[in-house]
Amino acid sequence: MARDHDSMPQSYEYDVLIIGSGAAGLTVALNLPEHLRVCVISKADISSGATLWAQGGIAAVLDDTDSVENHIQDTLNAGGGLCHEDAVRFTVEHSKESIKWLIDSGVKFTRQDDGEDYHLTREGGHSHRRIIHAADATGHAVSTTLASQAQARPNIDLKAGRVAVDLITNRKLALPGNRCVGAYILNLEDNHVELFRARFTVIATGGASKAYRYTTNPDGASGDGIAMAWRAGCRVANMEFNQFHPTCLYHPHAKSFLITEAVRGEGGVLRLPDGSRFMDRFDERAELAPRDIVARAIDHEMKRLGADHLFLDISHKPADFIKQHFPTIYEKCLSFGIDITREPIPVVPAAHYTCGGIVSDERARTDINQLYVVGEAAFTGLHGANRMASNSLLECLVYGRAAAQDITRREADIPPPPSAPDWDESQVRDSDEDVIISHNWDELRHFMWDYVGIVRTTKRLQRAKHRVDLLSREIGEFYSNYRVSNDLIELRNLVTVSDLIICSALQRKESRGLHYTLDYPGLLNDAQDTVLVPTTYRTLSP
């Protein structure tokens, strides 16, 4: 039963607070010892994050003809000179054991026809078949399996219908040291902000693709963790590298439905409205070129022709093959009157993955003590200037397990969190101006798409910066005077991450990977990360 505004908000204390319930957050939770009291926060249902919608699969070295060195080299090649080789090696070397952990946890991956070996597919940028998958709904299999495992653990509390507002640090409490001690969390059922104190806090909130008008991501991908960490004093890096998935289903009623890269990996071809192919004019690898090249080629052709969309065609393959390999896509398209065994799929590029994020190390530690970050919200150095297909779920698993191991190693030495004040709602009132929030939301996503999209110019970025500064001031005033809501929290965070994206893009005076600007079409000789430092940043004390 919902409480009224005068009742006392709830207060909780845990050993580990995990904000986000996708593959990254649940991997941390399930790899922690069962004597630790763990809480996993989720905006909607526990299985509502981006993991649920991941179609393709997970990259790992699982075949005798493949090797760790091959996978490392492919990732470095795709990353445009900005991958951190130590992070790539760390991730790939732990790939096989991470997949084994998923299998042991009960994930049912697709097997070969003989039922013995697992079926491995190949995607853009990969030199070998190394993508293990569960048909074309791998994310669903991983997400639901891990969620059911977490629900069965008595030490894990799963709290849905909650959105994080801000992290609580020693600095905010006017205490010495540089430590995170929990977070303020909005309970969406009764609209009260609750206090969650914890010895360790893990950000696993996903990316920021909802900053863009067209995206493959679920509604919750509003950059919450990145924005909260930035406000708390964490550095962020490489936010200009937003991956646009080349092929999102173009249909007025198909909200954010992605057509997996595996369709091209299994022989799908891109076509113009007249039916002709075009990718070979942009790259010798044609449809199997890295995503940034494919997305730019589609964007170029759409603008050249004034077309709303192009087409992805796999209808030349046998119908049984298509239905077996892509059952989800087949059924979804059919529900919109598109039979992919007979006709091409209308597609458009859409914001898909945030390659940058909160600066972290191989143990998933951030710039603030006892604050960790895993998954898409993190900048580990793995992806560089362009994420290679199916490395993202692998990153969630490898760094999620690494974070859990580090917390386990340190937990005996970390004292309980200090007391903290309840959220103060005494000086705010309910908003009767929700139209302002929805208008600002639309304005932000439109100018980010138009000015900070697949192809950029300095003038476009400067226009976006001017608009985001105005929005930031407006929303800051709104935030100070009104009771927080989910929409206001997400808009505040989206404005913050949009500003980080724009500032990062303005700093990069070259075209590299996913950042393509007409003013600087060439590469600089020296590949450097774009690292932004907040005014609240402190160097870590031991």
pLDDT in tens, 261-277: 889 999 999 999 999 99
pLDDT at 431 over 90: no
Residue where the block lists tokens 């445009």: 80
Residue 438 lies in a domain: yes
Residue 525 lies in a domain: no
Task: Quote the pLDDT of residue 3.
Answer: 43
Q: How sure is the predictor about 393, in pLDDT bands with cuts at 50, 70 and 90? A: very high
Read out DSSP for 94-123? Answer: THHHHHHHHHHHT----B-TTSSSBPEE--
State the average pLDDT for the chain: 92
Greater model confidence, 279 or 213: 279
45 C-beta neighbours (distance < 10 Å), count: 14
Q: Are residues 360 and 333 in the same domain?
A: no
Greater model confidence, 243 or 538: 243
pLDDT at 344 over 50: yes
93 C-beta neighbours (distance < 10 Å), count: 14
Residue 318 backbone zone (phi > 0: left; psi -120 to 50: alpha; other: beta):
beta
pLDDT at 433 over 80: no
Q: How far apart are the first and last CA of the chain?
A: 45
284 burial via Cβ count (<10 Å: 0-12, 13-18, 19+): exposed
Q: Is 291 a catalytic residue?
A: yes
pLDDT at 289 over 80: yes
CA–CA separation, 508 vs 516, rounded Å?
10
Q: How sure is the predictor about 5, in pLDDT bands with cuts at 50, 70 and 90? A: very low
pLDDT at 416 over 80: yes
Catalytic position from the list 89, 130, 264, 291: 291
Q: Are residues 89 and 134 in the same domain?
A: yes
Greater model confidence, 340 or 54: 340
Please give the backbone phi and psi of residue 441, each rounded to the nearest 5 degrees, phi first.
-60, -50
Asked which of 113-127, 140-154, 322-336, 404-418 is least confident by mean pLDDT, the reply is 113-127
The 10 Å CB-count burial string (b at 16+, else e) for 348-380 is bbbbbbbbbbbbbbbebbbbbbbbbbbbbbbbb
Residue 537 lies in a domain: no
Q: How sure is the predictor about 53, in pLDDT bands with cuts at 50, 70 and 90? A: low
Residue 415 lies in a domain: no
Residue 306 backbone zone (phi > 0: left; psi -120 to 50: alpha; other: beta):
left
pLDDT at 2 over 50: no
Q: Are residues 94 and 225 in the same domain?
A: yes
Q: Are residues 211 and 133 in the same domain?
A: yes
For the chain, percent of residues with pLDDT exceeding 70: 96
* CATH of residue 69: 3.50.50.60
pLDDT at 51 over 70: no
**Structural domain boundaries, residue 282:** 248-350
128 burial via Cβ count (<10 Å: 0-12, 13-18, 19+): middle
Residue 539 lies in a domain: no
Task: Quote the pLDDT of residue 287.
Answer: 95
Q: Are residues 77 and 111 in the same domain?
A: yes
pLDDT at 430 over 80: no
Residue where the block lists tokens 């699969």: 57
CA angle 19, 25, 29 (to 5 degrees): 105
* CATH of residue 498: 1.20.58.100
Q: Are residues 166 and 210 in the same domain?
A: yes
Evaluate whether 220 touches 48 at the Cβ level (below 8 Å).
yes
Max Cα-Cα span within the chain = 67
Mean per-residue pLDDT for 124-142? 88
Residue 4 lies in a domain: no
pTM to 2 decimal places: 0.90
Q: Are residues 172 and 68 in the same domain?
A: yes
* CATH of residue 304: 3.90.700.10
Kind and range of the H or E run holding 32: none
Q: Where are the beta strands (DSSP E) in 314-455?
A: 345-354, 357-359, 371-373, 378-379
CA–CA separation, 264 vs 101, rounded Å?
29
What tens digit of pLDDT does each residue of 92-113 get? 999 999 999 999 999 999 998 8
Please give the backbone phi and psi of residue 85, each rounded to the nearest 5 degrees, phi first.
-60, -35
